[in-house]
Chains A and B, each alone.
Chain A
Amino acid sequence: MAEWRNGRWFGLLWWAFVAVGVLQVESACGVVKSEGFVESLMLRPLPDGKTLGHFRFVNDLREEGENGHHRKLFPKAIYQIVQKFRIQEMDLSFTQGRWNHRLWGGLEGLEALGVKPGGVELRAQFRQSNEEADVLWRNLTHALSGLFCASINFLENPAMVSEWGGVRQAGVGAVRQGSLPRETVCTENLTPWLKLLPCRDRAGLATLLERPRIHNGNYYSLRVHVKAGHGSLRLVQTLTVVLKSSETSPASRGRILAPDEDFQFRQPNWSLSTLFGRPLIGACPLAISSHVHMELEASLVEELKRAENQTPKISQDSQNEDRMRNTDGRGDGLDLNFDLVSNEYFQLNLAPEGVSKESSPTAPSLLLSYDVQKHSKSRPLNVGMSWRAPIAWSPRQGPFRATQFLTGRGNGRGAIVSLVHANGDSCHGSKRNTQWCPVSELDDGTSPAIDITTFQIVPWYFRLYMHTLKVVVDGERVSLKKGLKLRLSPADDRKSPAVVEIGLTVPRNTSTLVISVEFDKGYLRIDEHPPDANRGFDLPSALFTFASSPSPDLMSKRGAVPNQLEVQVYSDNLLVLLATPDFSMPYNVITFTMTALALYFGSLLNSLRLRTVREDGVLQPASRFSTNLRKLVALITSRKKLKTL
C-alpha cells in the first residue's frame, strides 16, 4: 500500500470520477437496478442412490435505462446475438447420457421443459417474418457454433430444421428448430457456458462444477435459454447432472458388511463434497440471491410419514424439532409428523434454513433451502444426507411414460412406433397423483380429458408413409375423422425434413396409446454419409406434451395455474441402420457401368453398320458424295502406307 505511486492515485481518482458520473447518469435515467443475477442449486436424492443436481443461473436485464452498450452482469456475447439476430426466444441444450425415466422420474417440477434428449437441440424464435428468418437462422447457428465450440453450424442445412415449433410455438415470429442427436458434449462446451456467468466458476455455485466429476455423471445437460420481452431480456442457464456419490462404501474399506449396511451400496451417503469434490464456500458476490435447495420427493415424504405412523416413538430429539420450528416460519402448515433433520431413515448434514412445500399441485414435494450467502470459506456449506436405514420410494412420475421404438426387419422398410402408457403407480395407492388420475371422489364425470400431442422431426431419408398412420387408444383405432388432429409438413428430398404433429384428446383413464407410421429407408449418396455410416443414423427424439386443464374444484383448492399442468417428455433418440453402398468402390462402379454402356453402344452400332443389301448394279449406284469419301479415305490410307514404308 505504501509503495503506491502517484500514477496509481491518479488512476484511482479517475475511476472514482467515472463511477460517480455513471451513477449520476443512472439516477438521471431513473434506473435503479437494471440487471439482476440469481443463482440456485437444487439437489434431489434419487431412489436408486444417485443424486440429481440442477444448477440454475438467471440473469435479468431491463433495457429501459440506456447505458449504451455497457452491461455489468449480462454477458455481452448473448446480448449481441439477441440483438443481431433479432431473437425473441432461444433455447439451446447440450446433453449427454440417457435419462432413466423409470428410476429417476421426471424433471417437470424444475423446468417448464422436460428432460432433454441426447445431443444438441436448438430452437429459436425470431422477431422476423419467415423469409428473413432463414438467413438469421443460418448466421445464428454459426455464431452459436463459435460461441459454444460445437458443430451447431450443421443445423444451417434446412434438411434438418423444422420451420415450426409445434405446440410450443407462441407468438407470430418465425420459428426454427433442429437437433443434432449424435453431437457429443464435452468440457469444451462447458467452459464457454461458464464464461457467460458473472462470476464464471471462480465463486458461487459454479465453483462446484469440477469438470471430470460432472462428465463422469450418468446424465448431463447444459441449457441456455434466452427470452426477450418488452424491454427486458432474461438469460437462464441451467445445468442438470445426475451423479453418484463418491463416498467409499463400507465394503471397500475391507470390512465385512453387516446385513443392515448392505443398502449403503445402493444408497450411499452423499454431500456436496462427495458429489462435486468440494463443499460450497460462498455465493457469487454479484448474485442477488444464492440458494441451495434439497428436494424430498412427495412419495419419500409420504413413506416417512407412514413409517412414523406405524412406529410411534417418543420425540427424542426435541432440540432439533425446536430448531426447525424456530427457523422455519412457513413450515407450520406442512403437518409433518416426523423429524426432518434426523429421523430413523436419514440424517441431514445441516439443518435447513427454510422448509417449504412446492407449489406444484402435481406432486407437492418438500423443499429444504439453505442460503449460500450466509456461508463463507471458514464456514463452508456442505449439504448432504446420511442414510440410516434403507427406504424405497417411487420417483416422481409424470402422468404418462412415452417411449419410441422401431419395428421392421432389414434395411428396406420399417415403422416408427410411439408407445405412451399411463404411469400406473401415479394413480394408485397413497402416492396418488390426483391431477392426472380418474379420481373418483373428485371426478363427477365432467372433468376434462387429457390432450396428448407428439411432435417429431423426421429426416427426409426416412420416407414416412402417412397413409399407414395408426393411432390406437386402448385397443381402439382413432382415425383422422374421429378427432385426431394432425399437422404435417411433408419432407422434401434433401431439402426439408418431415415434421409431424399428432394431437388427440384421451379420457383420463387411458392406459395405452400407440402411434405407428411405416417408413421406407432412403438411400443416400456416398458423400452424404457421415464418417461412420455403419453406426446408423439418428432419428431425433419425439416430444410428447401432456396437457390437462384442471377441474374447477381443484383450481379453487390449490390455486393452480393451468399451464403448470403441461408436462413435456422427450423420447429417446433412435438409431436406424440404413443400407450403405460400398464406400471404396466409386472408380470400380464407374468403370464397370461405363463398360456395360460402351458394350451396348459399340456393339449395337457395329451391328447396325453391317450392310444387308450389297449394291449389285441393280440397285441405285452409290452417291457421288460417298464415292468421293471413299476415294479420300483410300488416299489417306495409301499415304499412310507410304509413310510406314
Chain B
Amino acid sequence: MAKWWVVWGGGTLGICVRFLLVVMGSLSLLDRRVEVVSPVTSLSRLAEGYWLKEYGKSPYAGSAYHGSPLLLSLIGPVIGDRQDTSIGYLLCSCSLFVVADLMSALLLRSTGKLLEHGHSKHLQLLGLTNLLREKTDRKDKLGIGDISFLVYLFNPFTIAVCVGGSTSSIENMLIILSLYGAAAGKVPLAGFGWAMATHLSMYPVFLIIPIYYLLTNGLDSPPNKLFELAKSVEPAAKEDSCHGKDANDSYLQSSKSSSKGLQTTPMLSSRRKWVVISKLVFWSAISWVCILRLCKVALLGRSSLITMWLETHKYMLTVDDLTPNLGLFWYFFTEVFDFFRNFFLMVFHANIAFMVPPLTIRLRHRPIFLAFILTAICSMIKSYPTVGDAALYIGLMALCVHELSELKYFYLLLNGYILISVLGPVMYNLWIFRGTGNANFYFATNLVYATLQTVLIVESVSTVIGYDKHLLKEIKLHSSNKSSQLHPKSMEVSA
C-alpha cells in the first residue's frame, strides 16, 4: 500500500518548490501579506524581538514580538536582522520551515497509515466486509497517509506560509506531532507536542481532548453502539464466514482471527485508562516545566515569564493589535464601542470554548476528526488567523478522507477558497494601496471566508454523522440479509 514514489518524489518536489519560490523572492513578497503572517507569527517581528534582545532590552519591549522566547533563540540567530538578500542566506533562513513542513507531512502520513489500518479493522469487526472489499479492490488507490502527505505538502497555503516568513509551519508541526504521538500511543510525545503547541499558539489547548480520546479509546472508529449491534448479529455472520464463503480472502481471515481478542471495542479498561491519563498529565507537566525553564533561560533575565505570558497568550486573548487579518476580530474590535469590548471578547472566545463539549460528546469516537473540527473552529474564531491555520486543518481533513468522501458542496467550498485567495489580496490592495476601497471591502471577504469555514465545519460534521448512520444501515442490511438467509426467525428476535 505504501507508495515509495509518493514519499520520495513528493517530498523532493515539495522541497524543490519551496526553495525555488524562496530564491525567486517570495520572502519579500509575502512577508507583508496579512493573509500569510499575523502579528504573532511574523518573522519581521521576530527579527525585531531578536534585535531588541541582542541590544539588551526585553524582546517584548516595543510591542513588536509576541511569540515564544524559544523560537527567538531557535530562529533569531538564523535570520538575524533580515538585511541580507543573498541566496545562501535566504535558503538558510527558510530551510528550518521547509524541514518543519516535511516533518509535518511525514507525521501526517504515519498517522494516516495507522488510521488506514484501524479503518479496515473496524469495518471488519462490524462485519462490513463488502465495504472493505470495495476499498481494497482498488490497489492503485493511494492510502490515507499518502493522500494527506501530498495534500499537506502541496497545499498552496502551506507553501505560502512556509516561504512567506511566518512561524506557523513550526506550530503546525508541533500540533501534528502531538496528534501523531497520541495516535501511535506514545504518551511522552503527545504530552510534549501538546505542551509545546499550546505554548506557541495557545489555541491547541483544546486539542488535549482529542489527544485524550486517542490515547484511551484509540483511533477513529465507528460508535460503540455499532459494535454492540454488530456483536448481536455476529454469530450469524461468524457462521456464515465459517462456511468458507470468504475463505479465499486470506487477509480477512487472518485479521478476523486476530480480532477475536478485541471482540467488541478497542477501548481500554478503566484502570488502564487512568494509567494513560496520569501518564499524559505527567508528561505534559514535565514538558511545561521544561518549556518554562528554557524560556526563562532564553529570556536572559531581560523579561519575566509573566511578561512573556502577557505579551503572548494574553495578547491573543485581548486583541490589542488591530492589524487586518483573515479573522473577524480585527474589524469588529476596531468598530465596537469601548464599553462593550470586554463583553464581546468573552463572546468570541466562548464561541470556541462552548462548542467543545457538544463536539466532544458527539464525536469522541473519532478523535482525529474531532481534532480537525477543533482546529478548523479555532482557525475561524481566532484572534490572529492566517492561511497557515487553514493549511493545518486541511491536512487533518485529508486524514478523514474515507468518512468525508460523501462531503456535500465540495465543489462550492473549493471554489470558495480559490475566490478568497484571489479576492482577499485584491480588496486589501484596494483599501491599503489604492485607497479606492475601504475597510468594509476587505472585511466582506473575511466574512465570506468565515462563512465558508462554517459550511465546511458543519458539512463535515454532518457527513461524518451521516457516515456512521450509513454504517448502521449497512450493518442492519447485512444482518437482515444473513439472518433471512440462514435463520429467518433471528431477525424477529433482534427486532
Whether B62 and A491, one on each chain, are in contact in the complex, defined by CB atoms closer than 8 angstroms, is yes
Residue of B nearest to A492 (CB): B63
CA distance A526 to B332 in the complex (A): 10
A170 at the interface (CB under 8 A from B): no
Q: Which residues of B contact A603 (CB under 8 A)?
A: 454, 458
Query: Measured between alpha carbons, how far is A468 from B50 in the docked complex, in Å?
Result: 12
| Range, interface on chain A | 35 or more
Look across to chain A and name the residue whose beta carbon is closest to the beta carbon of B429. A410
Per-position 1/0 for B220-254, Cβ under 8 A of A: 00010110110010000000000000000000000
Cβ of B203 under 8 Å from chain A: no
Using a CB-CB cutoff of 8 Å, which residues 596-644 of chain A contact chain B? 596-597, 599-601, 603-605, 607-608, 610, 612-613, 616-620
Flag if B83 contacts A468 (CB, 8 Å). yes
The distance in angstroms between the C-alpha atoms of A582 and B438, with both chains bound, is 7
B432 touches A412 (CB 8 A): yes
With the chains together, A607 CA to B338 CA distance in Å? 35
Contact A604/B332 with A527-B338, A597-B381 known, Cβ cut-off 8 Å:
no
Q: Are A593 and B328 in contact (CB under 8 A)?
A: yes
Q: What's the Cα separation between A524 and B331 when bound, in Å?
A: 10
A283 at the interface (CB under 8 A from B): no
A-contact 0/1 string along B449-460, CB 8 Å cutoff: 011011001100
Q: Which of A198-206, A331-339, A583-591 contacts B (4 or more CB under 8 A)?
A: A583-591
B495 vs chain A, min Cβ distance (A): 7
Contact across chains for A579 and B469 when beta carbons are under 8 A apart: no
A277 on interface, CB distance cutoff 8 Å: no
Contacts A466-B51, A488-B57, A600-B380; A579 near B439 (Cβ below 8 A): yes
A426-466 CB mask vs B (1 if < 8 Å, else 0) is: 00000000000000000000000000000000001001111
**Residues of A555-608 whose CB lies within 8 A of B:** 579-582, 585-586, 589-590, 592-593, 596-597, 599-601, 603-605, 607-608
With A605-B358, A613-B469, A616-B495: A596-B451 Cβ-Cβ less than 8 Å:
yes
A590: which B residues are within 8 A, CB to CB? 332, 335-336
Report yes or no: A589 in contact with B232, Cβ–Cβ below 8 A. Answer: no
- Contact of B454 with A493 in the complex, beta carbons under 8 Å: no
B433 touches A410 (CB 8 A): yes
Provide the bound-state CA to CA distance between A189 and B448, in Å. 53
Q: How far is the CB of B230 from chain A (nearest CB, A)?
A: 10
Asked if A536 is an interface residue, CB under 8 A from chain B, the answer is: no
Provide the bound-state CA to CA distance between A494 and B63, in Å: 10
Most buried by A among B63, B321, B468: B63
Chain B nearest Cβ from A159, distance in angstroms: 12
- Which residues of chain A come closer than 8 Å to B381, judged between CB atoms? 597, 600
Question: Which residue in chain A gives the minimum CB-CB distance to B455?
Answer: A603
A492: contacting residue among B52, B62, B333, B435, CB under 8 A: B62
Docked Cα-Cα span, A441 to B8, in Å, equals 75
Q: Which residues of B contact A601 (CB under 8 A)?
A: 351, 354-355
Chain B residue at minimum C-beta to C-beta distance from A413? B32
Specify which of B57, B229, B335 is in contact with A589 (CB 8 Å cutoff): B335
Q: Which chain A residues numbered 455 to 511 have a C-beta less than 8 Å away from chain B?
A: 460, 463-468, 480, 486, 488, 490-494, 498
Closest chain A CB from B366 CB (angstroms): 12
A586 and B52: CB pair below 8 A? no
Residues of B with C-beta under 8 A to A605:
355, 358
Partner of B321, one of A468, A480, A493: A493
Minimum CB distance partner of B47 in chain A: A467
- Distance in Å: Cβ of A352 to nearest Cβ of chain B: 56
Q: How far is the CA of A605 from the CA of B465 in the complex (A)?
A: 13
A504-534 with Cβ < 8 A to chain B: 520, 522-527
Q: Kindly state whether residue B55 has any CB partner on chain A within 8 Å.
A: yes
Q: How far is the CB of B364 from chain A (nearest CB, A)?
A: 12
Chain B residues whose CB sits within 8 angstroms of the CB of A253 once the complex forms: none
B50 neighbours in A (Cβ, 8 Å): 467
B261 to chain A minimum Cβ distance, whole angstroms, is: 24
Residues of B within 8 A of A413 (CB): 32
Q: In the complex where A468-B83, A592-B447, A612-B469 touch, is A581 in contact with B62 (Cβ < 8 A)?
A: no
Q: How many angstroms between the C-alpha atoms of A494 and B333 in the bound complex?
A: 15
For window 169-204 of B, CB contacts with A under 8 Å fall at none
Q: What 0/1 pattern do residues 317 to 354 of A give for CB contact below 8 A with B?
A: 00000000000000000000000000000000000000
Q: Is the Cβ of A581 less than 8 Å from the Cβ of B334?
A: yes
Q: Is B100 an interface residue (CB 8 A)?
A: no
Contacts of B406 in A (CB 8 A): none
A168 touches B (CB below 8 Å)? no
A592 to B334, CA, bound (A): 14
A581 and B335 contact, CB distance less than 8 A? yes
A617 to B84, CA, bound (A): 72
Query: Bound complex: CA of A603 vs CA of B57, how far in Å?
Result: 49
CB-based contact B355/A604 at 8 Å: yes
Residue of A464, A490, A493, A616 ringed by the most chain B CB atoms within 10 A: A490
Report if B494 contacts A (CB, 8 A). Answer: yes
A248 within 8 A of B: no
Encode B23-65 as 1/0 by CB contact (under 8 A) with A: 0000000001000000000001001101110010100011110
Cβ-defined contact, B457 with A618, below 8 A: no
B 418-465 contacts with A by CB, 8 A = 431-433, 435, 438-440, 443, 447, 450-451, 453-454, 457-458, 461-462, 465
Q: Does A27 contact B (CB under 8 A)?
A: no
**Separation of A490 and B462 alpha carbons in the complex (Å):** 50
CA distance A493 to B358 in the complex (A): 38
A14 smallest CB distance to B (angstroms):
61
Q: How far is the CA of A255 from the CA of B381 in the complex (A)?
A: 78
- Chain B's nearest CB lies how many Å from the CB of A607? 4
The smallest C-beta distance from B266 to any residue of chain A, in angstroms, reads: 18
State how many angstroms separate the Cβ of A254 from the closest Cβ of chain B: 50
- List chain A residues, Cβ under 8 A from B457: 600, 604
Closest Cβ of chain B to A520, distance in Å, is 8
Contacts of B52 in A (CB 8 A): 466, 490
Nearest CB in chain B: distance from A191 CB, A: 37
Q: Which of A342-375 contact B (CB under 8 A)?
A: none
- Is the CB of A187 closer than 8 A to any CB of chain B? no
The answer, yes or no, to whether A411 is at the interface (CB within 8 Å) is yes
Please tell me if the beta carbons of B57 and A610 are within 8 angstroms of each other in the complex: no
Asked whether, in the complex, the Cβ of B330 is within 8 Å of the Cβ of A523, the reply is yes
- Asked if B142 is an interface residue, CB under 8 A from chain A, the answer is no
Asked whether A617 and B454 contact (CB < 8 A) given A460-B63, A466-B48, the answer is no
CB distance from A484 to the nearest CB of B (A): 11
Is A409 in contact with chain B by the CB < 8 A criterion?
yes
Chain B residues in 8 Å Cβ range of A608: 358-359, 362, 461, 465
Q: Which residue of A lies closest to B332 (CB)?
A: A593
Q: Cβ of B48 and Cβ of A467 under 8 Å apart?
A: yes
C-alpha gap A61/B269 in the complex (Å): 91
Distance A463 CA – B453 CA, assembled complex (angstroms): 32
Known: A601-B355, A610-B465, A613-B468. 6 other contacts (CB 8 A): A490-B63, A579-B431, A580-B439, A596-B450, A604-B458, A613-B229
In the complex, 6 of the A-B residue pairs with CB atoms within 8 angstroms, ordered by the A residue number, are: A411-B431, A490-B57, A526-B335, A601-B351, A613-B469, A618-B228
**In the complex, the 5 A-B pairs of residues with the closest C-beta atoms, listed nearest first:** A490-B62, A467-B51, A410-B433, A490-B61, A523-B322
